[in-house]
A and B are shown apart, each in its own frame.
Chain A
Amino acid sequence: MQHESFAILKEDVATAVNKLVNGFLSNKEYNQDEVQNWTASLSEDIVKTLKTMSTNFKFCVSCVILQKGDAGMHISTTCYWDSNVDGSVAIKCENNSMYCIVNIFGVSF
């Protein structure tokens, strides 16, 4: 059975998620009491959007919100999967007070 490749979806996913994240950040300032709710609700919204794009993939979405300051930071990912059909997208957005990094992984099943 031919599996759909994540590469076909990649551009649409990147566009949709960029729009979601930028819209989300546009009116917010880093607030340590709220940020836990923000990351949870943002990653849920992203998964809901992804579900409408394809039913052939399992999706994992990781959302990091980092306060802007002097701290250095590094994020890496490694995947053990079938690179012909599975794939990932990394989205980086920011506003005046924080960075938001979203990693989306699509695993074919």
Chain B
Amino acid sequence: MSLEDDEILIDELGNTARKVMEEVITQDLYFDPENINSWCQQIMDHCLKEFGKLAKPFKYIVTCFIMQRNGAGFQCASTCFWDTKTDGIISVTGDFPNLNCLVTIYAVHV
């Protein structure tokens, strides 16, 4: 399927985010309050750089959530008020031995 100039494949954004997440968060990382901010920043900055390269008329919001695996439960939901024909959302989760990671990408057509 070929894309128009103002279309994106939301799954592609998700795959990029997953690849970046798995590069930054390695299997042996423990929750570290001193470095956690820089891990989140790395994931988000790398994602946004890749999305910017697509040069499509979209605004992007990337949310990164990292939590220590200690048995506590959590739930995340998103609701969006937008044009469902042109805008999209994708969430990717990473299950690492000591961390839970969730990256959500909102792509809004301008």
Q: Nearest chain-B residue to A44 (Cβ)? A: B79
* Contact call B67/A58, Cβ cutoff below 8 A: no
Do A66 and B72 have beta carbons less than 8 Å apart? yes
Contacts of B59 in A (CB 8 A): 79-82, 86, 107
Q: Is the CB of A51 within 8 A of B44?
A: no
Q: How large is the interface on A (under 10, 10 to 19, 20 to 34, 35 or more residues)?
A: 35 or more
Q: Report how far A66 CA is from B89 CA in the complex, Å.
A: 22
Taking Cβ atoms with an 8 Å cutoff, the residues of A that contact B are 30, 32, 35-36, 38-40, 42-44, 46-47, 50-51, 58-82, 86, 88, 103, 105, 107, 109
B interface with A by C-beta (< 8 Å): 31, 33, 36-37, 40-41, 44-45, 47-48, 51-52, 59-83, 87, 89, 104, 106, 108-110
Contact (A47, B79) CB under 8 Å given A58-B87, A67-B72, A71-B69: yes
User: Is B76 a contact of A64 with CB atoms below 8 Å?
Assistant: yes
Whether A66 contacts B79 in the complex (CB less than 8 A), given A77-B44, A78-B48, A81-B61, comes out as no
Residue of B nearest to A57 (CB): B81
